[in-house]
């Protein structure tokens, strides 16, 4: 790490991944600027459920997953939706998703995800301590609900996998036990799993802004500019910023769902797809929510945000250009009202965001093939907030020339080549 104070690093993306990376690099003496077309936490980082989901180590592409997909797809408002006009464009990604569900790939992906989650938990605590951010955390655990014994028993292998990776949990087998943790739920939920170490932030946008404020207070720059191009000139990165050009020493590409378009300009074809997530945030007093609640078979969650309740989730694989279909948010809210009978649904604010997802549920963290001076850090899907602090530490290890680990090889941008 020689002459690190003289190194000029541009981070493309002002979401939680980009901001965490910029702050970590700055703490090591680098001169860092963040470039974003809309500003800090203006996309997926502002409207997510606010969860640090360290127990979610199982990839979406599980063995046999595609046998369930047709049933989901028959319901246009179900937990998984693909607009018919987008299906052909999505086919190559779905083929890779299917391959990722084979047992060999699945077990390798889960091992890498579990290791990243372990690092993420430790890295978050380091980040909270370094930025005095505990006031923005709520450590109330998570309750995953099941309708009936059959659905609960089907989940047991996943709980055993979590146990094998050191994740603490308690299994509940009655509505009465569930009500001790979270009262007010419909009695159709007869079983549950409670993960006490689950953490949420009071507000994901406020947490990202807290980190950005710290970054700026220590001399970091946030530039409200769209990066329209990334290339190499004389072996050095070149950014096009509208009509201007910038030549940093290194570039970190952390632009979420837009990242693969910029990566393609460097000759890197990365199979990233956009999951469009929907939610409705209800004001304070909407429900006495005491923990993060996951309605797994219905594809959505309820979380506390600034004293209110955010109802959101589901997966719509529809790209970046289609107009939002807020009927999906309406359906989730109506389901939530059935499952949480006392929920007051007036005064809600709807939102849709783009989650950058890879077929194997693992992020892209690594150097571009064209140059080690361009580092990719995107594709975290539902887990961007969860894995942001760890991603920052891994990117630092790449920039400082630390020895590449087996973990980083699992996230290599070239793994689908």
Count of CB atoms situated within 10 Å of the CB of 115: 17
Mind listing the domains of the chain with CATH numbers? 4-47+205-271+361-416 (3.50.50.60), 62-101+137-198+274-357 (3.30.9.10)
Q: For position 32, what pLDDT does the model report?
A: 97
- 3-class SS of residue 381: helix
Res. 87: pLDDT tops 90: no
pLDDT (tens digit per residue) in 318-352: 889 889 999 999 999 999 999 999 999 999 999 99
**Does residue 1 register a pLDDT over 60?**
no
**Residues paired with 9 in a beta bridge:** 32, 250
Residue 81 pLDDT grade (very low, low, confident, very high; cuts 50, 70, 90)? confident
pLDDT of residue 110: 94
pLDDT (tens digit, 9 = 90+) per residue, 98-151? 999 998 899 999 999 999 999 999 999 999 999 999 999 999 999 999 999 999
Dist. CA 381–CA 354, nearest whole Å = 9
CA pseudo-torsion sign 74, 47, 52, 358: positive
Q: What is the pLDDT of residues 249-268, one digit of tens each?
A: 999 999 999 999 999 999 99
**Amino acid 404: pLDDT:** 63
Can you name the residues that pair with 70 across neighbouring β-strands? none
pLDDT at 307: 95
Report the C-alpha gap between 282 and 131 in whole angstroms.
29
The answer to whether residue 16 scores a pLDDT higher than 80 is yes
What pLDDT is stored for residue 64 in this prediction?
79
Instruction: Give 77's pLDDT tier (boundaries 50, 70, 90).
Output: low
CB 313 within 8 A of CB 301: yes
- Looking at the predicted structure, is the pLDDT value of residue 5 above 60? no
Distance CA 4, CA 249 (A): 11
**Percent over 90 (pLDDT), the chain:** 83
On average, the pLDDT of the chain sits at 93
Residue with structure tokens 């995107």? Answer: 378
Is residue 80 predicted with pLDDT exceeding 80? no
2 has a pLDDT exceeding 50: no
β strands within 215-263, DSSP E:
221-224, 229-233, 236-241, 244-246, 250-253
Query: By mean pLDDT, which of 77-86, 257-266, 304-313, 349-358 is the weakest?
Result: 77-86
Token representation of residue 210? 């807290």
- Picking from 123-127, 153-157, 314-318, which range would have the lowest pLDDT averaged per residue? 314-318
What's the rounded Cα separation, in Å, for the pair 270 and 302?
Answer: 32
Which pLDDT band holds residue 290 (cuts at 50, 70, 90)?
Answer: very high
User: Which band of pLDDT confidence, cut at 50, 70 and 90, is reported for residue 242?
Assistant: confident
| Confidence label for 374 from pLDDT (cuts 50, 70 and 90) | very high
* Residues 362 and 115: beta-carbon distance below 8 Å: no
């Amino acid at each position: 790490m020689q002459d690190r104070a003289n190194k000029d690093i541009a981070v493309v993306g002002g979401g939680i991944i980009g901001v965490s990376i910029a702050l970590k690099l700055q703490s090591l003496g680098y001169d860092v600027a963040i470039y974003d077309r809309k500003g800090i936490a203006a996309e997926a980082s502002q409207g997510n459920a606010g969860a640090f989901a360290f127990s979610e180590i199982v990839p979406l592409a599980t063995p046999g997953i595609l046998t369930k997909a047709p049933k989901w797809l028959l319901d246009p408002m179900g937990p998984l939706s693909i607009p018919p006009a987008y299906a052909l464009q999505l086919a190559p990604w779905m083929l890779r998703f299917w391959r990722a569900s084979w047992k060999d790939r699945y077990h390798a992906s889960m091992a890498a995800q579990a290791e990243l989650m372990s690092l993420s938990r430790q890295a978050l605590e380091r980040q909270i301590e370094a930025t005095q951010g505990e006031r923005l955390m709520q450590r109330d655990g998570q309750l995953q609900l099941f309708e009936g014994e059959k659905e609960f028993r089907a989940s047991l292998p996943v709980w055993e996998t979590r146990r094998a990776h050191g994740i603490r949990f308690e299994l509940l087998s009655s509505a009465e036990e569930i009500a001790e943790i979270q009262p007010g739920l419909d009695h159709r939920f007869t079983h549950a799993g409670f993960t006490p170490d689950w953490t949420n932030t009071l507000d994901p946008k406020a947490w990202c802004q807290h980190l950005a404020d710290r970054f700026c207070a220590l001399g970091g720059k946030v530039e409200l500019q769209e990066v329209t191009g990334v290339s190499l000139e004389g072996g050095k990165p070149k950014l096009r910023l509208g009509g201007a050009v910038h030549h940093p020493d290194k570039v970190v590409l952390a632009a979420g769902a837009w990242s693969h378009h910029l990566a393609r300009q460097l000759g890197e074809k990365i199979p990233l797809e956009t999951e469009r997530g929907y939610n409705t945030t209800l004001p304070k007093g909407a429900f006495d929510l005491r923990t993060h609640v996951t309605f797994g078979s219905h594809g959505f969650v309820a979380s506390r945000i600034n004293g209110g309740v955010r109802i959101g989730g589901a997966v719509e694989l529809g790209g970046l250009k289609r107009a939002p279909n807020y009927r999906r948010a309406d359906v989730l809210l109506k389901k939530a009202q059935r499952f949480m009978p006392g929920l007051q649904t007036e005064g809600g604010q709807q939102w849709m965001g783009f989650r950058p997802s890879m077929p194997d549920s693992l992020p892209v963290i690594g150097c571009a093939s064209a140059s080690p001076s361009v580092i990719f850090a995107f594709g975290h899907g539902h887990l961007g907030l969860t894995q942001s602090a760890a991603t920052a530490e891994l990117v630092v290890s790449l920039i400082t020339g630390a020895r590449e680990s087996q973990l980083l090889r699992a996230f290599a941008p070239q793994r689908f080549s």
